[in-house]
Amino acid sequence: MKIVSFKKATCLVLLVVFILASGMISIAAEEKKLVGKTININTATVDDFAQVPLVSRELAERIVEYRDDTGDFQVMEELLQIDGFTRKMLRRIKPFLLLEGIGGDECTC
């Protein structure tokens, strides 16, 4: 009976490890979407934002809608005003973002 329980426990542990490893692989693949590239949050399209790790298409749509309604972003932290955008997310995706005004001048606000 103990051997069967040990086998079940071993299978369960292996299953959990496999699931966790699969998740890490998908996160790694997700973060390679924009390696070495940045997007200007004041000119990026929904498709551009959707290429940023952790940004779903729905969130990308909300970002562009917010920008269309309120005008150019003055500071990156303004993204936190958008439903579903968190401070942790902003920290993780900041390397992929650039803040420039429409005229090409970097915002110093």
> What whole-number distance in Å separates Cα of residue 75 and Cα of residue 92?
16
**Do 96 and 34 meet the contact criterion of CB atoms below 8 Å apart?**
yes
| Residue whose C-alpha is closest to residue 41's, from 7, 87, 82 | 82
The CATH code for residues 39-98 is 1.10.150.280
State pTM to two decimals.
Answer: 0.64
Asked whether 41 and 98 are in contact (CB, 8 A), the reply is yes
Q: How many other CB atoms are found less than 10 A from the CB of residue 14?
A: 10
Q: For the chain of 109 residues, list the mean pLDDT of each consecutive stretch of 10.
A: 65 56 52 71 96 94 97 96 95 94 53
